[in-house]
Amino acid sequence: MQGAINKSAKLLICDDDETLCYLLKEQLLEEGFAVDTVYDGKYAIEKMKTDIYDVLLLDLNMKEVQGEDVLKFVAEYNSAIQVIILSAQGEMRKAIECIKAGAYDFITKPYEFDNLLLTLKRTVEHKNLLVKTELLTKEIHKKGSDTIIGESPLLKRVLNLADKAATADSNILIEGETGTGKELMAEFIHKHSARAEKPFVVINCASLPDQLIESEVFGHEKGAFTDAKSAKQGLVEIAHGGTLFLDEIGELSLALQPKLLRFLENGEYRRIGGITNLTSNVRV
């Protein structure tokens, strides 16, 4: 089951179980990966200072330098390395904390090799997507709002689609994992649209509590809640004539979704505490 995606990927396995390291390395070599192994976190850090790796398979519990310390090093030294945590059955909470700290995924020991291989291939694909996103970022920043001609066929297709979306003045859903450039693509579409001279406004829907999100998006009237000492414009009002990018829109509460749907359908909204319907011409 070798493939091009495997042959370009270099892996580092860090586990103090030398037998497991040897067997896993042999299996992954057969799948076309380039593989190095170390048996302690200290040596993993030393290897990553001198060699370039795409993915680190990292055990949590080791004798000297622990897995969490290695993960911290990766986050500070080279966050482009994707980390898969190898955790024991009783380490689920620690593994989840590692995901929050930047690891891409985790596998629970004992594991089926096919499951590990599937996770590994998905991780490599994610890494490749991040590299392509970085290329797109550099192209957009280099050329600004001018027409961008990408080098790769994939980049050309993406920018082609974005150019078409820019000319149609309708709301757009941009899908993709965290870190794959959704905001960048939204800004590109805005800059290539008839709204380019108007505001491009961004809000992360996962970053604030529900009531604050509603207040940020739609605004509030004076006295609408305890700290509302004056009326406040919402982002839909601030972005009038331009584009509003709602990042992590899937995190919106069920209570707020109907209000957003109403705005998307007819451009009408109310500030929190308001009794008057307001309108704004915004692309979302």
181/270 same-domain check: yes
For the segment 24-53, the average pLDDT, to the nearest whole number, is: 91
> Structural domain tally of the chain?
2
33: closest CA among 69, 6, 61?
6
For the segment 235-251, the average pLDDT, to the nearest whole number, is: 90
In this predicted model, what pLDDT tens digit does every residue of 66-124 receive, in sequence order?
A: 888 888 898 888 888 899 988 876 777 788 888 888 888 888 888 889 888 988 988 88
User: Which positions ≥6 away from 271 have C-beta within 8 Å?
Assistant: 218, 219, 220, 221, 224, 231, 232, 234, 278
Domain stop point among 111, 129, 159: 111
* Model pLDDT, residue 161: 80
- pLDDT confidence band for 139 (50 / 70 / 90): low
CATH number at residue 57: 3.40.50.2300
Strand ranges (DSSP E) for the chain? 10-14, 34-38, 55-59, 82-87, 105-108, 200-204, 219-220, 232-233, 243-247, 268-269, 278-279
Please check whether residue 133 lies inside any domain of the structure: no
Please check whether residue 122 lies inside any domain of the structure: no
* Residue 158 in tokens: 């993406």
In this predicted model, what pLDDT tens digit does every residue of 151-189 receive, in sequence order?
A: 556 666 777 788 788 888 889 888 877 766 788 888 888
Domain stop point among 95, 111, 127: 111
107/168 same-domain check: no
- pTM, two decimals, is 0.53
Residue 254: domain span:
147-279
Mean pLDDT of the chain, nearest integer: 83
103: closest CA among 112, 94, 113, 114?
94
Name the H helices within 34-171.
Answer: 41-50, 67-77, 92-100, 113-143, 153-167
176: closest CA among 122, 251, 126?
126
